[in-house]
Amino acid sequence: MNFMLEVKNISKSFFRKEALSEISLRVNKGEIFGLLGPNGAGKTTLIRVINRIVEQDSGSIRFDGDLMTENHLSQIGYLPEERGLYKNMTVEGHAVFLGKLRGLSRKDAHIKVDYWFDRFGINDWRKKRIEELSKGMAQKVQFICAVLHEPKFLILDEPFSGFDPINVDLIKQELIEMRAAGKTVMLSTHNMKSVEEICDRAVLIHNSKKIAEGTISELQNARKTGLYAVRFRGSMIAFVNALWTGFEVHDKDILGDDRFIVRVKMRGDSSFEDLLKVLIGQVKIEAAWEVLPTMDNIFIDLVQPKESE
Amino acid sequence: MRNSMLIAIRELKERIGSRSFLLFSTLGPLIVLGFVYLMFAFGGQSKQHWNVLVADPTGIMENKMMVNDDKSISYAFANDYIEMEEFADAKKYQLYDALLEVNEKVLSNKVGFVFFRESPSIRMQTRVQYQFERRLEELMVKEFTSLSLKDFRKIKQPLSVNFRDVYDPYNESSDLSGWVGMFYGGVIFTFIFLFGITIMRSVSREKSNRIVEVLLASVSPNQLMIGKIVGVGLSALLQFVVWVVVIGVGLYFMRETLFPDMLNAANMNIHDLTLQVDSQSYQDTAFASREYNQFVELVYNRVQFVNMTVFFMLFFISGYLFYGALFAAVGATMGSESDGQQFVIPLIVLLCLALYGGYYSLNYPESPMVDVLHYLPFTSPVVVMVKLAQGYYGPGHVYEIYLSLLALISSACLMLGLASRLYKNGILQFGHRVRLKHIFKWLKKS
């Protein structure tokens, strides 16, 4: 069994409002899995169901091959979107308290706290009260609290919100290292760039239903437009003349200094190799690539039409 | 269980570390002690001198009492029957503090009654009883025996003298003992209310700062609620222990320094005292003690602190669980922290009703309404304390206190069950308007 988490036909309603409708998904072991969707799609409800914070109306969840029970919670790390801390506790006291709640002994909790505080360079904050921390500092503490007990499966709901780019990068690197160490991560975020960068697979939920699932490249390939882009130095006229009848210029960006990026659409049986052949010698090609939709594009493409319906 | 304990310990540490806890733990008992001292010092000194009217219709006493004069008591004699009501109300008797009723068979039945207007001190009671008994002994020796008075005293039987309030001969109305119960009940409800509000605010604060979601990913709502109630309850108990120790030490200190005669064990039991008083020197020693007011006697002699404290703890813990669950449920159903303000008012009304229940039972301990309030979980802790202090749970009534405790514990379990449903379903709802239909729906959901 290669699944860390298997969600099967989960439905949940609140006061007749459907929050999740027959949601099924699988998260493989050792991958970073993106949970995407617009606000109010049902992502947080799904995460709460997985964490057994709310109970599903129907459906089942298997964790590491077994039907999920309360005992599995100690193997899960959770950083909720709307996260809080006890303001009058010290940073160290808070981390140790949450570590113990997740099953660590007092001694182990202190050892882990030492490790993570060293790793994040926040040893000076130990005795500070939470209320003395800035938002970014508090976010770091919250992240440490979520991973302190070294869970097999980490669920992060909007982990990058409130962080500056340096700390976003720090968290990304941590997640990549966790994946390398065999941990599984479920990442719910609106930061599509991060999804493209670090997620292996993703699911998109909209209006309480699953509307897409797959690897990032599968999702991109499913929505590619057949466009290819070429960045070159030279004359735009020479470029257009070289294309002849097998290709069509879709649009262009002028970079200045006789440099351009032109997106080209294939006609008939023309291929990427044919395009490169006709251009070589006419212009100085700097780079050429297939234009794939960004996760932003995919997100908008999947969500927006349905909103206008 | 482990998680509930972790939550409880965290709550306990937070409470103990707060300034209000330290302030309430130190100033609270000191204020009570100060209040007690003021009552001791100025709270209606018992009369130093008593005018006693002896109603002796058959002239048994021969218009005489003890040979040696006692300056603290003056006796007057009336060779007529005087009804208690007449003595209480008639103008001509108002200058007398007490009526000593000598029935015609007193030499054989050895029973006398003293009706007083104002509760006498134990020493004053002892003097009257002692002097009355001595006079009777003289008469008995003269009437029935050829023994000397000294020999007679060796074989004598004790005389029973009953002291009764002329305005309340059957001791039905409120008395100081009852007020002690009221004080205990008041302390229960003060603690329950203060710490109940603490639970409610703590729950709503966790909701509003969203830490609750982090906690719920590790503990179940029930564990969280129980942990919170237990943790806050432990801090309440700790504070209570501090109160008991400070007040206990304070009372002991007062007894040692300000009211030292209370240490004399012989002063504790009126009958023992009368039997032991054989010599004039002992009598002088015992009676030379300063007269204390009724509050001093109440605190040091009449209140059964051990019994009261045991039941106080039982009813405090059960009542706290009952109300604590209610407060936790209210905190969990609130949409925002500010909602708490509107919930506090009905809870204060509930508290006032409970205290009024105690006051009502103080005045009408036998009324059917009190029987109901005695078993209602909202009022039983204070009503039981009042009745316990009044000495209601004598033979034949003891089961009632346990029945009331059982009813309270059952209600606390039921309330915990209902509160856990509200807590589970309401704790993650933010910013909503609290509606009854939501509450009913949450109650229905398991």
pLDDT tens track for A256-290: 888 999 999 988 888 889 889 889 888 999 999 98
Q: How confident is the model at residue B79 (pLDDT cuts 50, 70, 90)?
A: confident
With beta carbons less than 8 A apart as the criterion, state whether A179 and A31 touch: yes
A97: contact with B, CB 8 A cutoff: yes
Q: A87-121 burial by CB neighbour count: b if 16+ within 10 A, else e?
A: eebbbbbbbbbbbbbbbbeeebbeebbeebbeebe
ipTM of the complex: 0.78
* B248-261 tens-digit pLDDT: 888 878 777 766 55
- Would you kindly state where each structural domain of chain A is located, as residue ranges? 3-221, 225-290
For B12, other C-beta atoms within 10 Å of its C-beta total 20
Are B119 and B243 members of one domain?
no
What's the domain range around B321?
2-39+174-444
Confidence class of residue B162 from pLDDT cuts 50, 70 and 90? low
Shortest distance, CA B217 to any CA of chain A (angstroms): 6
The answer as to whether B353 is a domain residue is yes
B214 plus B317 within the same structural domain: yes
Same domain? B153 vs B299 = no
The structure tokens listed for A292 are 């794939």
Q: What share of chain A is helix, strand, coil (3-state, %, to 5)?
A: 40, 30, 30
What is the rounded CA–CA span in Å between residue A242 and residue A234? 12
Does residue B288 share a domain with residue B159? no
Q: Return the residue in B20, B202, B214, B423 with the most chain A beta carbons within 10 A, the one to mutate for interface testing.
A: B214
Predicted pLDDT of residue A287: 93
pLDDT in tens, B23-67: 888 888 888 888 877 777 665 555 667 888 888 888 887 777 765
A249's CB contacts (< 8 A; 6+ apart) are A240, A243, A262, A263, A264, A265
Q: Do A78 and B3 touch (CB under 8 A)?
A: no
CATH code for position B79: 3.40.190.10
How many domains are there within chain B? 2
CATH superfamily of A3-221: P-loop containing nucleotide triphosphate hydrolases (3.40.50.300)
Q: Looking at residue B41, what is its pLDDT?
A: 67
Which residues face B378 on adjacent strands? none
- Given an 8 Å threshold on Cβ–Cβ distance, is B3 in contact with A101? yes
**A100 touching B (Cβ < 8 Å):** yes
CB contact under 8 A, B214 and A86: no
User: With an 8 Å Cβ cutoff, are A54 and B210 in contact?
Assistant: no
In chain B, residues 196-225 whose CB comes closer than 8 Å to chain A: 206, 209-220
Enumerate residues 66 to 95 of chain A having a beta carbon within 8 A of any beta carbon in chain B.
Answer: 70, 73-74, 76, 78, 80, 82-89
Q: Tell me what pLDDT residue A177 has.
A: 92
Can you give the pLDDT at residue A60? Answer: 92
Question: In B96-183, at which residue ranges do the beta strands (DSSP E only) sit?
Answer: 98-101, 111-116, 160-165
Structure tokens at B181: 């119960």
Confidence of residue B265 (pLDDT cuts 50, 70, 90): very low
Of 3.30.70.1570, 3.20.20.70, 3.40.50.300, 3.40.30.10, the CATH number of A225-290 is: 3.30.70.1570
Q: What is the pLDDT of residue B171?
A: 53
Judged by CB atoms closer than 8 Å, whether chains meet at A51 and B210 is answered as: no
The mean pLDDT of chain B is 77
Contact A44, B172 (CB under 8 A): no
pLDDT in tens, B283-341: 444 444 444 555 555 555 556 667 778 888 899 899 999 988 888 888 888 776 666 67
Q: Enter the pTM of the model.
A: 0.70
With a cut of 60, say whether residue A89 has pLDDT above it.
yes
Residues B291 and B259 in one domain: yes
Residue B289: per-residue pLDDT: 44
- pLDDT tens digits, B346-374: 888 888 888 888 888 877 777 888 888 88
Residues of A in contact with B426 (CB under 8 A): none
| Residue pLDDT, tens place only, A223-252 | 888 889 999 998 889 888 888 778 889 888
In a domain, B45, yes or no: no
Mean pLDDT over B377-398 rounds to 81
pLDDT tens sequence across A108-162: 999 999 999 988 888 888 888 888 888 888 888 889 999 998 899 999 988 888 7
Residue B174 predicted with pLDDT over 50: no
Residue of A nearest to B426 (CA): A54
Facing residue for A73 by CB, picked from B213, B218, B441: B218
Do both B19 and B115 map to the same domain?
no
Same domain, B207 and B242: yes
Q: How far is CA B46 from CA A143, A298, B256, B260, B266, in A?
A: 71, 93, 21, 17, 20
